Amino acid sequence: MSGAARRDPAVEPLGETALLLRFGEGLDPAINAHVHAAAFAVRAARLPGLIDIVPAYATLALRYEPAAWVDANGVQPWRNLEGAVRAVLAAPPAQASIAPRALEIPVCYGGDFGPDLALLAEHAGLEPGEVIERHTAATYTVAMIGFAPGFPYLFGLDPALRMPRRASPRTHVPAGSVAIGGAQTGIYPSDLPGGWQLIGRTPLALFDARRDPPSLLLPGDRVRFVAIDAASLAVRDSHA
């Protein structure tokens, strides 16, 4: 369920070292776009003591050093930071955001790599090949990174491919598994438990602590999936 986007977000402290900006509720691309625009504006402002900026579906979390926002009047640091952030959002930079990156993700669909593809096709009233065509036809937006380091939650799934999560989650989902859960698609960055419907696998490493940044995909990125065969997956795996 989604709600109207708030240009003037509700603000609340998360403990003593974080601030939460709430732009709305639910899974709504318009609200999520406000979140990413705010993240860009706050990042561009280079506010003192700001440690991390974490966009989610409808919220933006700001981790900060409280000592940077102490004043002589005894105002709580989070209130001072809130005032600075609201001033930034009231007069955002002329360039509202940077151009989103566009990335292609190779995927081998079905078989052992996508054991739920046939079930999803049956659920959608489609042939497996039609599911693949629809899944690769869309351009997705990375709404947020969460659940596990490098796990992208992607907006843009064809409504015909929506399917509830499994009633019983798997205890082991292989790294690189491309999956559908409800109205979203995502990619498991490592071997994890999970309850999404598995439709394929990519050889790309979604998270590598040695990279900068460690996550292959970042909030706001645009993503297209490209179908490859099992032989291509094996070749790519051998060079990963």
Residue 29 pLDDT more than 80?
yes
How many whole angstroms separate alpha carbon 195 and alpha carbon 164?
9
Give the whole-number percent of the chain exceeding pLDDT 90. Answer: 78
Supply 102's token pair: 């566009």
How many whole angstroms separate alpha carbon 85 and alpha carbon 69?
12
Q: What is the assigned CATH class of domain 102-238?
A: mainly beta
- Residue 127's nearest CA partner among 137, 114, 118 is 118
Q: Could you tell me if 62 and 85 are in contact, meaning their C-beta atoms sit under 8 angstroms apart? A: yes
Quote the pLDDT of residue 2. 46
Quote the pLDDT of residue 26. 87
Give the whole-number percent of the chain exceeding pLDDT 70. Answer: 92
Q: For residue range 6-21, list pLDDT tens digits in order.
A: 568 999 999 999 999 9
Residues of the chain with CATH 3.30.1360.40: 10-90
Instruction: Give the SS3 label for residue 29.
Output: helix
CATH number of this structure's domain 10-90: 3.30.1360.40
Q: For residue range 123-148, list pLDDT tens digits in order.
A: 999 999 999 999 999 999 999 999 89
From residue 195, alpha-carbon distances to 153, 172, 239 in Å are 14, 10, 29
The HSE-up count of residue 37 (CA atoms within 13 Å, CB side) is: 20
Residue 100 pLDDT more than 90?
no
The predicted model gives 199-220 an average pLDDT of 94
Quote the pLDDT of residue 233. 77
Q: Could you tell me if 36 and 59 are in contact, meaning their C-beta atoms sit under 8 angstroms apart? A: no
How many whole angstroms separate alpha carbon 22 and alpha carbon 24?
6
Print burial letters for 151-174: b (CB count within 10 Å at least 16), e (below 16): bbbbbbbbeebbbeebeeebeebe
Answer positive or negative: Cα dihedral of 111, 115, 217, 205: negative
Quote the pLDDT of residue 1. 37
Residue 96 pLDDT more than 60?
no
Between helix 117-124 and helix 128-137 the angle, nearest 10°, is 90
Q: Could you tell me if 229 and 199 are in contact, meaning their C-beta atoms sit under 8 angstroms apart? A: no
Residue 171 pLDDT more than 80?
yes
Residue 70: how many other CB atoms lie within 10 Å? 14
DSSP assignment letter at 205: -
Residues of the chain with CATH 2.40.100.10: 102-238
Residue 99 pLDDT more than 70?
yes
- Across the chain, mean pLDDT equals 91
